Amino acid sequence: MNLISEFADFTMTHEIFHSESPLNLESGESLSQFDLAYTTYGQLNRDKSNVIWVIHALTGDSKAAEWWSGLIGEDKFFDPSNHFIICANLLGSNYGSTNPFSVNPETGEPYFYDFPHISPRDLAASLERLRIHLGLEKIHTLIGGSLGGQVVLEWAYTLGKKLDNAVILASTAKTSPWVIGFNETQRMAIESDCTWGEKHEDAGKTGLSTARAIAMLSYRHPDDLARKQAENEEKLDNFRASSYLRYQGQKLSKRFNALSYWVLSKTMDCHDLGRGRNGVDKALAQIEARVLTIGVNSDLLFLPSESQEISRKVKRGTYKEINSTAGHDAFLIEFEQLAYILQSFYLEH
């Protein structure tokens, strides 16, 4: 499938890449075939040196110019009139790529709870299939935050000299017990939904809403909630913070599903760049690309020190920090700071 549209002054396409070759996974399982939905903006230049590959976070999709509108688009830092920008929906996600509701070709029935365990390394391997399919010999910049940053690291390791720049935002080289703990509490919330275990797309929907509310607390900083959800009157109940979290949970449950959330949160948990590579330090030292890590001073989930560690241990690393009260999600909203940091990084080359 190939959908092409004119968006402002540049071309945008939505396509599906289908791989007939098995994808062998770290878990020992495999996907005998798979689909990746992907979106592109702009066009390749003559020598194909203008590729910007974006990797979305946990509940994102391939339409990067929508959820990162302050960074991607006409007259933005990554302008499709100058760059060929591509973003693929990650395996396991329910925005067009193979996911738990897809039909398992081995059984003729949807995977549901039998969908295989997928690691960030597996996600990088699937994206590598797409890169080869598109005939892209080099990637100028690979950029992603949170789970997307984990996949950026894994793919940067295997791409070697085929990648010029890796930009990793609010992420880590190995998932901490702190993050795993937050994710586990969210899965416990999903498990507590009486519909969890049923084989339909709304299974675990209420639990997912609760899980998202838990997640939002980890994505924000207490000061941010104090500023935005403060009460202007004395109350005994019905607090703004309560309404905010319920709204965020319901909002996600309308566009995402519990099974994809379960799969991708497990993916995030098992991230370890050093697995089978003699540890994180030696793995980081093997990355050939220039690496920019960006932390958020108020991030309580992926700590700034974790981003700093990556930049210190790669061959050519730079660390910069976003100052914001927004917490972890600042990498999705502090566009002016991001553009300044990226511009400075490119000028250092």
Query: What positions carry a catalytic annotation?
Result: 146, 299, 328
Q: Are 342 and 77 in contact (CB under 8 A)?
A: yes
Kindly state the greatest CA–CA separation across the chain. 65
Residue 115's Cα: distance from chain center in Å?
19
Helix or strand (DSSP H, E) at 140: strand 139-145
- Cβ count near 14 (within 10 Å): 16
For residues 90 and 96, give the distance between their C-alpha atoms in angstroms, rounded to a whole number: 9
For residues 131 and 134, give the distance between their C-alpha atoms in angstroms, rounded to a whole number: 5
Rg (alpha carbons) of the chain, rounded to whole number: 20
For residue 341, the number of C-alpha atoms closer than 13 Å in the C-beta half-sphere is 22
Pick left, alpha or beta for residue 14 (phi over 0 → left; psi -120 to 50 → alpha; otherwise beta). Answer: beta
Which of 166, 127, 130, 132 minimizes the C-alpha distance to 149? 166
For residues 78 and 308, give the distance between their C-alpha atoms in angstroms, rounded to a whole number: 25
DSSP secondary structure of 18-87: EE-S-EE-TTS-EESSEEEEEEEES---TTS--EEEEE--TT--S-HHHHTTTTBSTTSSB-TTT-EEEE
